[in-house]
Amino acid sequence: MREVRIRDTMSGELLTLGTDEEIGIYACGPTVYSRIHIGNARPFVIFSLLARFLRSEGYGAKLAINVTDVNDKIYTAAAGRGVSSTELAAEMTAAYFEDTGRLGIGRPDSEPLATETIGPIIDLIATLVEEGHAYESGGDVYFAVRSFDGYGKLSHRPTEEMEQGEGDDAGSLKRDPLDFALWKAKKDGEDLSWESPWGPGRPGWHIECSAMAEAELGQPFTIHGGGSDLVFPHHENEIAQSEAARGEQLARIWMHNGMIETGSEKMSKSVGNIFQLSEALDAYGAETVVAYLISGHYRQPLAFGEGPLEQAAAGNERLRNFLRENPPAGAGEGVPGDEAAAAGSRFRDALADDFNTPRAMREAFDLVRAVNQRPDDPALAGAGTVLAGMLELVGLESLATGGEEGPGDEALELLEARNAARADKDWARADEIRDSLAELGWEVRDGAEGARLVPRS
């Protein structure tokens, strides 16, 4: 069991996970008012793989990624499309499950919906009102920011500074411009609301995560994550709500992923709308999308574009080629050589060090090159098995177990005919057959041990 360290946004420091604690991880999922884009997939992948890695190291881990299915944006988008907000949310939630499911990295342990957590949300708000941290005003309920001393500790913003940016709030029901809504009274035209002690309404944007996190993981829990764009105000407000209500820390470590950037790259129209996850999956496949998403350290911004995706695909192809030549052994079959085992160990070390996936992948590629250089070195025995183990940790196990179908009879007959032609040094005929095989989807690779067929990529 390795000591795993994660960079904490609040303190800026690398914090160590307790080896005997249950690692509760809560990551903020999407607000389902539209199909998710590839940026939304980054936290899903990062936190899913982190949980997978922790388990493989022997940690107890529970991952919860919520779905925010009631929100201003949903009302607006539904109205724009002429459907009910419930309908839109249900449709987009289903699309979210489908799109993320296609990534092939499994599902979180729990995926709570805001609309199914209304009871706990109302209870939490009621507690805040009782404790004097929140107040009702015209059917809305607001959190009194100044009643919570630690406000700003995550995003490192002094409250004095925040006031200045505040625009005119003349018609507001808030007592203080800093305050934010916990509960919003039902307004005309809104088609979804719940009864509450303050009248019919719906939750504000931040409270649902406080309630769901506590319901799923208890409080405090270990890691709270999400995109860096949620640091303020969303996570700052979650802290305020949860800690004011419970008098206890919400989460010990705050872990934020960087944004996917399109930079100034101008994309062609046909590629431009590939921002949606489903379209990226259609165009490149899950393996490429996952490889792309782990190609940079999770905290850093990641450049998006055709180039990076194709590069991820090409890198995968190198790994896949290697695994074809060096297939992983079955369970319990053979012991890896020292050098191969050391590479696997360094791969895990990299992940244990703030989940450094690009550094981990370096170990994978270094191992591949070493074996290609010295295929018979006993120290590198079992490299295919080691590599497959590495890839499983980062959601790329399909590169090793891709379930490639073997060539059919027709292809095998052609291959045999080509072998015969080559034996006769009838190169023209051999090349002709190679073209035929290509049409069937097979690439011929001549090697010392004869020709073999590989699916064309």
CB of 202 to RNA, least distance (A): 10
Residue 17's alpha-carbon distances to 7, 33, 45, 59, 226, in angstroms, are: 11, 35, 20, 9, 18
- Is 358 an interacting residue with respect to RNA (CB under 7 A)? yes
One residue of 391, 422, 442, 453 binding RNA per CB under 7 A: 422
CB of 107 to RNA, least distance (A): 26
* 156/195 with CB nearer RNA: 156
* 189/332 with CB nearer RNA: 189
One residue of 120, 305, 441, 455 binding RNA per CB under 7 A: 305
Residues composing the chain? 457
> Which range binds RNA by CB under 7 A, 92-100, 127-135, 367-375, 380-388?
367-375
CB of 327 to RNA, least distance (A): 14
> Which range binds RNA by CB under 7 A, 51-59, 81-89, 245-253, 439-447?
439-447
Total site size for RNA, rule CB under 7 A = 73
- Is 56 an interacting residue with respect to RNA (CB under 7 A)? no
Cα distance between residue 90 and residue 364, in whole Å: 41
CB of 73 to RNA, least distance (A): 9
CB of 424 to RNA, least distance (A): 11
- Is 372 an interacting residue with respect to RNA (CB under 7 A)? yes
One residue of 361, 383, 388, 391 binding RNA per CB under 7 A: 361
- The 3-state secondary structure of 108-154, one letter per residue: CCECCEHHHCHHHHHHHHHHHHHCCCEEEECCEEEECHHHCCCCCCC
- Is 349 an interacting residue with respect to RNA (CB under 7 A)? no
**36 touches 277 (CB < 8 A):** yes
Binding mask 199-218 for RNA (x = CB under 7 A): -----xxx------------
Cα distance between residue 103 and residue 101, in whole Å: 5
Q: Which residues of 399-409 are buried (b: 16+ CB within 10 A; e: fewer)?
A: bbeeeeeebee
CB of 427 to RNA, least distance (A): 3
Query: Helix, strand, or coil here: 450?
Result: strand
Q: For 425, which DSSP code?
A: T
- Is 348 an interacting residue with respect to RNA (CB under 7 A)? no
- Is 167 an interacting residue with respect to RNA (CB under 7 A)? yes
DSSP labels, 57-105:
TT-EEEEEE-BB--SHHHHHHHHHHTS-HHHHHHHHHHHHHHHHHTT-S
Provide long-range contacts, Cβ within 8 A and 24+ apart, for 43-46.
43/225, 43/226, 43/227, 43/257, 44/100, 44/103, 45/103, 45/105, 45/290, 45/293, 45/294, 45/395, 46/225, 46/257, 46/293, 46/294, 46/298, 46/355
Q: For 274, which DSSP code?
A: G
- Is 74 an interacting residue with respect to RNA (CB under 7 A)? no
Binding mask 79-118 for RNA (x = CB under 7 A): ----------------------------------------
CB of 232 to RNA, least distance (A): 4
> Which range binds RNA by CB under 7 A, 27-35, 106-114, 243-251, 440-448?
440-448
Cα distance between residue 61 and residue 6, in whole Å: 15
Task: Please work out, in degrees rounded to the nearest 5, the angle formed at the alpha carbon of residue 274 by the alpha carbons of 230 and 321.
Answer: 105
Backbone angles phi, psi at 202, to 5 degrees: -150, 160
One residue of 302, 351, 394, 437 binding RNA per CB under 7 A: 302
Backbone angles phi, psi at 196, to 5 degrees: -150, 170
* 44/142 with CB nearer RNA: 142
CB of 55 to RNA, least distance (A): 23
- Is 399 an interacting residue with respect to RNA (CB under 7 A)? no
**182 touches 241 (CB < 8 A):** yes
- Is 175 an interacting residue with respect to RNA (CB under 7 A)? no
Contact set for RNA, span 124-163 (CB under 7 A)? 145, 155-158, 161-162
> Which range binds RNA by CB under 7 A, 49-57, 98-106, 405-413, 437-445?
437-445
- The alpha carbon of 282 is separated from its chain's Cα centroid by a whole number of angstroms, namely 18
Backbone angles phi, psi at 181, to 5 degrees: -80, 135
Contact set for RNA, span 233-272 (CB under 7 A)? 233, 237, 259, 261, 263
* 26/183 with CB nearer RNA: 183
